[in-house]
Amino acid sequence: MQNQEIIKIIDNLKGRKNYEQKKATKLGFHSLYAYFEDKLLKEKKKAELKKKELEKVINTDKLKKKKSCSCC
């Protein structure tokens, strides 16, 4: 099953298609589709990690506020 988003990206490359094809081959991908599939997966993982870090910071800030005494 092919991802329509990746197919749309490849169709919109136009003049950069040869450049991206060479880059994908150089990095060891057997097709342009596989290259963009890997690229999108990496971006999603990076976004998830960033979201988790942000939630962690927010949660630690909430805990710090709760730990202060009620007299202040």
Contact (Cβ atoms closer than 8 angstroms) between residue 37 and residue 3: yes
Contact (Cβ atoms closer than 8 angstroms) between residue 20 and residue 32: yes
Percent of the chain, pLDDT > 90? 69
Spatial neighbors of 57 by CB under 8 A, at least 6 apart, are none
With a threshold of 0.95, does the pTM exceed it?
no
CA pair distance 57, 11, nearest whole angstrom: 40
pLDDT digits (tens, 9 = 90+) for 14-41: 999 999 999 999 999 999 999 999 999 9
**Rg, the chain, Cα only:** 21
